[in-house]
Amino acid sequence: MSARRNDSHHEDMETGADRQTDRLDFAAHLNSESLHPADIADHLEHLSPEKRVSAVNSMSKEDAAETIAELEENIAAEVLENLDIDKAAEIIAEMDRDDAADVLDELDDEHRDVLLEKLTQEDSEELRHLLRFDPDSAAGVMNSELILLDQNMTIDEAITHIRREMEEEKESPYYGYVVDSHDILIGVLSLRDLMLARPGVKVGAIAAGQNVVSVTFDTEKGEVANLLSHYNYLAMPVVDYEGHILGVVTYDDIMDIIHEEASADMLGMVGADPEESCDTPWLESVRKRLPWLVVNLLNSAFSASVVYMFEGTIAQMAVLAVLMPMVANQAGNTGQQALAVMIRQLSRDIFDQKKAWLAVLREARIGLVTGLVMAVLSFLGSWWFTGNYMVGVVMGGAILCDMFLGAVAGGSIPLVFRYLGRDPAQASSIFLTTITDGAGFFIFLGLASFFLF
């Protein structure tokens, strides 16, 4: 086992050998200091809804708040809905506001309003404020609790201020945000900067030379993630159009976003919902996937109509129907490889048009060379199989052309989608297959009817 904890109980659980015993042990540990909230949350997710609620009920409000923040949002919402309303409100009040807002967002409107009524006016206003933002924007994932440093504070005053805030705040601050008298963000100081600066200097003086990187509240959260990861920052301040500071997006939220965004591409590519997981209710998955399956059916009907044009050719020589799907399949696979590389590129880097089209050229080259190799192999294979070398020529020629086309299409589709303002990944594989199938059938059957009859 590679993850170590100096805690024998935890190691028992990790082996997973005797989960039943773990569950029994587990109840005794719920209120103890020995389990990390993320681990408690993992365990709760394995329990029945009733047991989850009673487990949360038995926790202190502080433990419950930390645990609920670590639960999958839909499960967290379900737990809150089934708790006593006063207990639920206590827990919400204890949570970091960004986490609380995420969970409240999952509740139905009525339940959410009742809960918000139970909070202090300050908490409830702040949460309503956060709930108004698009959950996929910087403001939707930001935390509004942050440490502001007035530009006229000295370093010593700032350190005292931060120390006092640290005792009160629930989330660790990584930076102090220097603002002018209108709360306009003018600088960011790390704890390190503060510890190394001379005590009497004003924070505004240190901030003066800085280039503050910030994002506006409506920035797409994936872009915030790319920027934070680009600059290796722990946190990114969020501002309005005038530069007033609103909150901060921290690296822990970003790690989740990076993970989601990258696998969202994989799901989107094949026409699943980018946010779908095994925890998505299955009927919701049916509803989300069906439209793309219908698109796929229409697209494949188009490819089928290409085959229909050559029905007479096939009737004369049925072996063509045997070889035909191989052409389409091979080109489809080549295209998907190009597609995956291009989608990765687009999701990762700041867009660069020249680099993107050079990447298509690169795929075209790869398609040409791999196409030549596969063409020779399939020429030999189908010559041997049919005993007719002209069938081999038709097969090889079709594989070469369609694989080249597949590589170019796979590289270009995400760029075209992006140009059209669409998500470069969404259903790209479905459109790719339409091209490689349609063109593959046409080229193969076209060459066949020209050369073989």
**Which of 191, 205, 376, 393 touches a second copy by CB under 8 A?**
191
151 binds a second copy (CB under 8 A): no
DSSP H or E stretch at residue 150:
strand 148-150
Q: Do residues 248 and 142 make contact, with C-beta atoms less than 8 angstroms apart?
A: yes
For tokens 């609380």, the residue is 100
List the alpha helices (DSSP H) in 83-154.
85-94, 97-106, 109-118, 121-131, 138-141
161 scored as a contact of a second copy (CB under 8 A): no
Closest to 443 measured CA to CA, from 388, 395, 389, 377:
395
Q: Give the nearer residue to a second copy in terms of CB position, either 96 or 119.
A: 96
Pairing of strands 148-150, 185-190: unpaired
- Exactly one of 201, 297, 390, 416 binds a second copy (CB under 8 A); which one? 297
Residues 244-283 that bind a second copy (CB under 8 A): 251-252, 254-256, 258-259, 261-263, 265-267, 269-272, 276-278, 282-283
Binders of a second copy in range 45-74 (CB under 8 A): 46
**CA of residue 47 relative to chain centroid, distance:** 26
Q: Does 294 bind a second copy (CB under 8 A)?
A: yes
Q: Minimum distance from CB of 117 to a second copy (Å)?
A: 31
150 strand-pairing partners:
179
Beta carbon of residue 143, minimum distance to a second copy (angstroms, whole number): 13
Per-residue binding string, a second copy, 200-239, x by CB under 8 A, is ---------xxxxxxxx-xxx--x---xxxxxx-x----x
Which distant-in-sequence residues (6+ apart) come within 8 Å of 290 by Cβ?
none
The answer to whether the CB of 4 falls within 8 A of the CB of 31 is no
Query: Residue 100's closest CA among 117, 136, 124, 133?
Result: 124
Q: How far is the CB of 128 from a second copy (least distance, A)?
A: 24
Closer of 101 and 444 to a second copy (Cβ) = 444
Q: Does 4 bind a second copy (CB under 8 A)?
A: yes
Site for a second copy in 420-449 (CB under 8 A): 429-430, 433, 437, 441
Site residues (CB under 8 A) for a second copy, limited to 82-101: none
Contact with a second copy (CB under 8 A): which of 42, 73, 81, 157? 42
**Contact characters 357-396, a second copy, x per CB under 8 A:** -xx--x--xx--xx--xx--xx--x---------------
Range 275-279, long-range pairs (CB < 8 A, 24+ positions)? 279/72, 279/74, 279/75
All residues at 6 or more sequence positions from 375 whose CB lies less than 8 Å from its CB, including other chains: 396, 397, 399, 400, 403
Work out which of 27, 355, 416, 419 binds a second copy, going by CB under 8 A.
355
Q: Which two tokens stand for residue 417?
A: 């989608």
Given 143, 334, 412, 426, the residue binding a second copy (CB under 8 A):
334
Could you give the CA distance from residue 236 to residue 252 in angstroms, rounded to a whole number?
Answer: 12
| From 100-108, 147-155, 175-183, 298-306, span contacting a second copy (CB under 8 A) | 298-306
d(CA 253, CA 225): 9
Token digits for 9? 């109980």
Stretch that binds a second copy, among 50-58, 87-95, 141-149, 325-333 (CB under 8 A): 325-333
Q: Cβ 87 to a second copy, closest distance in Å?
A: 25
Give the nearest distance from C-beta 267 to a second copy in angstroms.
Answer: 5
- Report the nearest approach of a second copy to the CB of residue 11 (Å): 10
Which of residues 4 and 182 has its CB atom nearest to a second copy in the complex? 4
| Alpha carbons 133 and 387: distance in angstroms, whole number | 68
Question: How many beta carbons lie within 10 A of that of residue 320, not counting itself?
Answer: 23
Six-digit token pair at 59? Answer: 């926790």
Q: Which of 153, 155, 197, 328 binds a second copy (CB under 8 A)?
A: 328
CA angle in degrees (0–180, nearest 5) for 129-135-136? 140
Q: Which member of 163, 168, 198, 421 binds a second copy (CB under 8 A)?
A: 163
Interacting stretch for a second copy, rule CB under 8 A, among 23-31, 49-57, 144-152, 356-364?
A: 356-364
The answer to whether 307 and 441 have CB atoms below 8 angstroms apart is: yes
- Quick check: 134 binds a second copy (CB under 8 A)? no
Pick the closer one to a second copy by CB: 64 or 326: 326
For the bound state, the minimum distance from the C-beta of residue 120 to a second copy, rounded and expressed in Å, comes to 25
Amino acid at the residue 362:
R
- Taking the C-alpha atoms of residue 274 and residue 421, their distance in angstroms, rounded to an integer, is 17
- Count of residues that interact with a second copy, criterion CB under 8 A: 134
- Residues 391 and 393: their CA atoms lie apart, in Å, by 5
Q: Which is nearer to a second copy, 34 or 58 (CB)?
A: 34
